[in-house]
Structure 1
């Protein structure tokens, strides 16, 4: 009976589709949001030019180690939580309700800004690449609308379908990078100078670490899909380790190939020369792969950007759905289709993104100099801050419960906490570099974090005083859902939960 229930449980009214994703399905969803090809073309090139040059290889390795340490604690927390609330749920369990509402606002701001930036980015590059390859020049906002429409229609087919589509795109964009890496290895070999500490910590090393961390934004979203995963207590930790390890290895090796092709001493200068055009990787690809594969890489860049848009939308939608279910937002946003897709949250999320990008288009602002730096810059800062809050919550939770596994619940996440704290400080101190603009309106965006903190605390006070039933019920889903899944699958390995916390939430 348990096995029959375990196999693709149908979505109940207003519930996500259970047992739809395995480890690789979750990995495809989060790595698509990271967009490896886009990261190499944009983020690695920026790090080489503005950061520590050839030392970017070491930066990627160190940041990967920091995030894997974070992953050790996150894996333990994932065994206790099965919630589409992601880091909001982690903060709620570890730091309490007021801090969770702060995390909720930071998540809403960060992910929705990132999606708006992704809409503008794909519109801009579709206009540029298609005009260059075919001569057809259409305004970037029209291409943005085309991309959003396609992403919306595909996402409505179900999360398992989205994972398959994103998986195909991911394999294609990774394949072209691997081909480039092998081409450089066969012609030049890889230099070992990149591991010299004097090079890793040279020049703008802090900026290098910041851009390396930026390449991982989106990898933290594994927990958002836990309610839709098969055996989430095992799937989410494995997917987290796999995603962090994969993007870290791919970024480090491909950056190593780029530096080896340019020469350790010349890497930063050449990257700086190509900074304005943003064509460093295409320049090298033309030399090592030829014109045909370089044009293919340009097309795959559009595939990468579309996959990132779709994946970031899925993540942002699940935050909206979860907050609607908790009645922090209107409960109408927690309505789902028969296949478990949170349709109203999806419509609301894309509508917001279109309105934001549309305003930039109406006022004639160029996406590359205004929309993209402001939205993706603050989105990056918001998600990095969310990662920091979640890591703090993990450490605090396991200290409150006096967990004796010191490495897994204190030392590893504690070191990760210090590393992420340093990255967030770097992001705030160098926000104009991260956003790619020193315009006053953009450099003021980090103050939105202060507004989110104040707003979250005020919201907590308002709910406690005026809507105590909502405030009291914020944590019920966190305790109820793991038990429901355990009953359905016959897996009740976790300690029994309080009957009070297992009550159905008042809606």
Structure 2
């Protein structure tokens, strides 16, 4: 019988706590399907290629599945909570890994700060609309952070169960809407016509389709906590990418069909300022009661995303601390394997950033959310690109004979991700929802991370050679024999 076990070492994560669906729930909750459809897809239809968003989702899914082929191969060789940092360390070496680690730290922590603002804003709006009780958005944000922290302390297995329930609920309500449209008048096949698929700003549509997948790549972060990780992580990766790709394309098709493929962009633009395209259509096809339920489930979706993104950001802090890049005290864990100190620091940062915007009296949905999630998206997509490059380089260096899964597929994925990153940088003001100079300059943080990572690598090599040498050893901490023994207990 397989049972979760815990390790009492001060820097050990819980082992054997997650199966394929547990890992998939954690990353799909970060993707937040309902939030992605209500916010990201609606903006993509309005500002991108209208009804062509369906084709955009299919194309991005294909790119990420090709990337996932190499990701799965690397995951079957490397078990480490460092995620993309660990991939780049193995494939491109220590200086590149430190650059990757800094990008991951900035990107994920910014994303959580944005998630704090998002749940605070929508909690204030939705709860006031449904109950009449109006509380400032930052107070709702603090309540959400405290609740997420309390639940995360119970262990990663418990978090996976909570997020799994939230994920099922938000997916079900959207599927009810999808089939209501399908059974009412069918889906519009015009979405696949070239004049629809390539209408408007195709690059923007492509970019927002990629944005809806942010978080799906985090399966490797939970490898040390998974059962049989060399099989679980690859399976969870394909499950997560495949699910969100099919689900997002299907639901977007329903939305576009409800408006008419040719009129989708115009209709979405009319609802852009209020952000109520999906809720408006839901009122027509599902009625008031189910639409109210959808609004409530949006808060569930946002809370699940906050927890899941926090778990990912925390594991980057934990991994970099354990390796000695950050202070080692942040790698301390509870008896149940929860990296509690990293969790506290991460939530303090995210709450403080949101607090600065609140003190300045800025609207979170106009200022905090787009700037933080915009750069977070760019950072995470850049991590995917660096990981794809590391995968190709590693397997060519080792002369792996499996050419398709280690070179052809990840190589094509690398090219596709490069296009997406370039689009994200060129169109960053649109992605971040603001053309303010300070927002437009945020991509320069990638250059700062590049310089900082290389300088820190040089410092460690000269002044702390033991830490620099230990970076490679940290990759191989996973003991397959010990893991098998704890699994069988």
Pair in the same fold by TM > 0.5 = yes
Residue number among 344, 348, 356 corresponding to 1:347 in the alignment: 344
Q: TM-score, normalised by structure 2?
A: 0.98
Tell me which residue corresponds to 1:505: none
Tell me which residue corresponds to 2:297: 300
The secondary structure found in structure 2 opposite 1:266 is helix
Tell me which residue corresponds to 1:497: none
Q: Output aligned runs, 1:101-140, within 5 Å.
A: 101-140=98-137
Deviation at 1:119, TM superposition (A): 0.2
Tell me which residue corresponds to 2:393: 396
Deviation at 1:265, TM superposition (A): 1.1
Tell me which residue corresponds to 2:360: 363
Tell me which residue corresponds to 2:481: 486
| Residue 197 of structure 2 is aligned to residue 203 of structure 1 | no
Residue number among 14, 18, 22 corresponding to 1:25 in the alignment: 22
Deviation at 1:404, TM superposition (A): 1.0
Aligned pair count reads: 485
Tell me which residue corresponds to 1:321: 318
* Structure 1 residues 131 and 77: CA distance shift in structure 2, 3 A: same
| Residue 59 of structure 2 is aligned to residue 62 of structure 1 | yes
- Divergent runs of 4+, >2 A: 6-10, 485-488
Tell me which residue corresponds to 2:276: 279
The secondary structure found in structure 1 opposite 2:120 is helix
Give the whole-Å Cα distance in 2 for the aligned partners of 1:256 and 1:332: 49
Give the whole-Å Cα distance in 1 for the aligned partners of 2:339 and 2:485: 27
Contact conserved, 2:15 with 2:483, CA < 8 A, in 1? Answer: no
Tell me which residue corresponds to 2:257: 260
Deviation at 1:288, TM superposition (A): 0.1
Give the whole-Å Cα distance in 2 for the aligned partners of 1:106 and 1:12: 31
Residue number among 282, 288, 291 corresponding to 1:291 in the alignment: 288
Give the whole-Å Cα distance in 1 for the aligned partners of 2:482 and 2:322: 21
Q: Output aligned runs, 1:89-168, within 5 Å.
A: 89-168=86-165
Tell me which residue corresponds to 1:236: 233
| Residue 8 of structure 2 is aligned to residue 12 of structure 1 | yes
Tell me which residue corresponds to 1:387: 384
| Residue 179 of structure 2 is aligned to residue 182 of structure 1 | yes
Give the whole-Å Cα distance in 1 for the aligned partners of 2:35 and 2:342: 27
The secondary structure found in structure 2 opposite 1:190 is coil
| Residue 458 of structure 2 is aligned to residue 461 of structure 1 | yes
The secondary structure found in structure 2 opposite 1:475 is helix
Tell me which residue corresponds to 2:428: 431
Contact conserved, 2:196 with 2:262, CA < 8 A, in 1? Answer: no
Give the whole-Å Cα distance in 2 for the aligned partners of 1:319 and 1:414: 26
RMSD: 1.0
Deviation at 1:480, TM superposition (A): 2.8
Give the whole-Å Cα distance in 2 for the aligned partners of 1:52 and 1:162: 37
| Residue 335 of structure 2 is aligned to residue 332 of structure 1 | no
The secondary structure found in structure 1 opposite 2:393 is helix
Deviation at 1:301, TM superposition (A): 0.2
Deviation at 1:487, TM superposition (A): 3.9
Tell me which residue corresponds to 2:413: 416
Give the whole-Å Cα distance in 1 for the aligned partners of 2:354 and 2:47: 28
Give the whole-Å Cα distance in 1 for the aligned partners of 2:104 and 2:186: 43
Contact conserved, 2:144 with 2:303, CA < 8 A, in 1? Answer: yes
| Residue 47 of structure 2 is aligned to residue 47 of structure 1 | no
Deviation at 1:369, TM superposition (A): 1.1
Give the whole-Å Cα distance in 1 for the aligned partners of 2:315 and 2:477: 18
Q: Deviations over 1:49-80 (max 9, x none)?
A: 00000000000000000000000000000011
Tell me which residue corresponds to 1:378: 375
What are structure 2's unaligned runs of at least 5 residues? none
Deviation at 1:490, TM superposition (A): 6.2
Tell me which residue corresponds to 1:452: 449
Deviation at 1:486, TM superposition (A): 3.3
Give the whole-Å Cα distance in 1 for the aligned partners of 2:413 and 2:4: 36
Q: Deviations over 1:176-199 (max 9, x none)?
A: 000000100010101111112332
The secondary structure found in structure 1 opposite 2:476 is helix
Deviation at 1:87, TM superposition (A): 0.3
Give the whole-Å Cα distance in 1 for the aligned partners of 2:334 and 2:278: 42
Give the whole-Å Cα distance in 2 for the aligned partners of 1:223 and 1:340: 17
Give the whole-Å Cα distance in 1 for the aligned partners of 2:218 and 2:97: 16
The secondary structure found in structure 1 opposite 2:154 is coil
Q: Output aligned runs, 1:62-81, within 5 Å.
A: 62-81=59-78
Give the whole-Å Cα distance in 2 for the aligned partners of 1:332 and 1:344: 8
What are structure 1's unaligned runs of at least 5 residues? 492-507
Q: Deviations over 1:151-194 (max 9, x none)?
A: 00000000000000000000000000000001000101011111
Give the whole-Å Cα distance in 2 for the aligned partners of 1:369 and 1:192: 35
Give the whole-Å Cα distance in 2 for the aligned partners of 1:12 and 1:390: 32
Deviation at 1:202, TM superposition (A): 1.9
Deviation at 1:381, TM superposition (A): 0.3
Q: TM-score, normalised by structure 1?
A: 0.95
Deviation at 1:150, TM superposition (A): 0.2
